[in-house]
């Protein structure tokens, strides 16, 4: 598939990139930012929301650097997965990065791109001809949702792996745009709507993921469901984090991915664990509560009912890893 035409810009600094954006905004011209390209270029090949200008962020030194406090948005996933510092301080984050797609994708894909990954749907991630033959959908060329008849908002699924882990770590993102920079907690970043997706303005560049010091006190685990154990996007994912006093939970966080249009924290479910002992009985209770609250749509490979059930299994496995106990046996082969 040949990529559609666009004008490519390769700024060498963040300030230069912002200047380009100012120009596009003033002239009313459409533009996209390109980082690893594994999401954007694949969508462009399907002629999905192609813009006139593409601004490459690959050569911006401001978007690089890995430490316990901050990860540059342009850092490649394989570098995060292999970073000694991330391994030692946030092993679940290293694992989540290591489990994204395939090794070849991780050679190009970045943490910023993973957080901003476009939402996915059977009726959207198709070739132009397929979409046109099926009269397209709300998120592309039409104004009708093909998943939920009559739905006026998009229910496409967000399938990023790093967001749930970073949500559990209390991370925030730095957004830099023509009007200055601002830090937004990841918990307030995503919008559970498949087209709007997040609070970042189109003109803003996600430059950095900031990790608070309290994240170092949290024990975090991540589990995901996907068809093949490589290449595929997750069909469900759960991160669990806890601050423990012995085996007693002082504070805990649960975040999901690939079951809605955003990566989301589940404070109502996590609340049930406060002050309780971390073990299989609690895991079973929280899993049941999480499953009851989940509403996945029929727009990824696995059926919504299966994904919903698997959320509970994944949560029990993640809690078992954090608590160091054996999860209850299950029939499924999810990772």
Partner 1 sequence: MRKILLRLRVNGAHHEVAVRPSATVLDVVRDTLHLTGTKRGCDMGTCGCCTVLVDGRARLGCLTLAAEVEGCEVRTIESLREGEQLHPLQSAFAECGAAQCGFCTPGFLMTCSALLSRTPTPTPEQVKDAISGNLCRCTGYTKMYEAIDRAAAQMRTEPAREPELSSREAVSGGSR
The site for partner 1 (CB under 8 A) is made up of 1-8, 10, 34, 37-38, 41-42, 44-45, 54, 56, 58, 101-105, 107-108, 229-231
Closest to partner 1 by CB, 150 vs 333, is 333
Beta strand 7-9 pairing with 53-56: parallel
Q: Residue 180: in which H helix or E strand, if any? A: strand 180-185
Question: CB 248 → partner 1: shortest distance, Å?
Answer: 36
Closest to partner 1 by CB, 3 vs 188, is 3
Closest to partner 1 by CB, 43 vs 196, is 43
Spatial CB neighbours of 329, under 8 Å, sequence gap ≥ 6: none
DSSP letter for each residue of 213-261: GGGGG-EEEEEEE-SSSSSSPPSEEEEEEEEEETTEEEEEEEEEESSSS
Question: CB 146 → partner 1: shortest distance, Å?
Answer: 21
Closest to partner 1 by CB, 5 vs 331, is 5
Question: CB 215 → partner 1: shortest distance, Å?
Answer: 27
Closest to partner 1 by CB, 21 vs 155, is 21
Check the CA dihedral 298-301-303-305 and report its sign.
Answer: negative
Alpha helices in 99-210 (DSSP H): 103-106, 111-115, 128-133, 162-168
Question: CB 15 → partner 1: shortest distance, Å?
Answer: 21
Closest to partner 1 by CB, 13 vs 102, is 102
Q: Residue 81: in which H helix or E strand, if any? A: helix 77-82
By the 8 A CB rule, do 76 and 108 touch?
yes
Question: CB 279 → partner 1: shortest distance, Å?
Answer: 31
Question: CB 137 → partner 1: shortest distance, Å?
Answer: 19
Tell me the backbone φ, ψ of residue 298, rounded to 5 degrees. Answer: -85, 75
Closest to partner 1 by CB, 67 vs 230, is 230
Residue labelled with tokens 């666009």: 6
Question: CB 144 → partner 1: shortest distance, Å?
Answer: 26
Query: How far is the C-alpha of 135 from the C-alpha of 195, rounded, in Å?
Result: 18
């Amino acid at each position: 598939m040949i990529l559609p035409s666009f004008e490519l810009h390769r700024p060498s600094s963040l300030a230069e990139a912002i200047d380009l954006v100012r120009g596009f905004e003033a002239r009313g011209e459409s533009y996209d930012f390109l980082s690893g390209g594994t999401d954007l270029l694949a969508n462009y090949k399907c002629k999905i929301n192609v813009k006139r200008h593409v601004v490459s962020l690959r050569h911006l030194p401001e978007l690089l650097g890995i430490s316990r406090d901050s990860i540059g948005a342009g850092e490649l996933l394989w570098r995060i997965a292999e970073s000694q510092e991330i391994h030692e301080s946030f092993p679940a984050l290293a694992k989540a990065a290591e489990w994204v797609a395939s090794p070849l994708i991780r050679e190009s894909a970045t943490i910023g791109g993973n957080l901003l990954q476009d939402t996915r749907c059977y009726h959207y991630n198709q070739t132009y001809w397929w979409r046109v033959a099926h009269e397209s959908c709300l998120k592309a060329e039409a104004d009708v949702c093909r998943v939920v008849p009559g739905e006026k908002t998009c229910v496409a699924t967000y399938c990023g792996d790093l967001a749930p882990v970073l949500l559990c770590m209390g991370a925030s993102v730095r957004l830099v745009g023509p009007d200055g920079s601002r830090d937004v907690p990841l918990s307030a970043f995503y919008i559970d709507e498949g087209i709007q997706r997040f609070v970042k303005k189109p003109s803003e560049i996600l430059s950095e993921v900031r990790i608070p010091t309290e994240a170092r006190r949290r024990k975090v685990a991540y589990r995901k469901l996907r068809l093949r154990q490589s290449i595929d996007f997750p069909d469900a994912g759960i991160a669990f984090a806890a601050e423990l006093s012995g085996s007693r939970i002082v504070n805990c966080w649960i975040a999901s991915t690939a079951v809605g249009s955003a990566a989301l924290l589940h404070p109502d479910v996590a609340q049930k664990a406060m002050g309780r002992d971390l073990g299989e009985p609690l895991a079973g209770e929280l899993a049941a509560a999480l499953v009851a609250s989940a509403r996945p749509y029929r727009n990824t490979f696995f059926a919504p009912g299966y994904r919903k059930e698997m959320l509970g299994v994944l949560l029990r496995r993640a809690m078992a890893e954090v608590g160091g106990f054996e999860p209850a046996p299950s029939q499924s082969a999810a990772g």
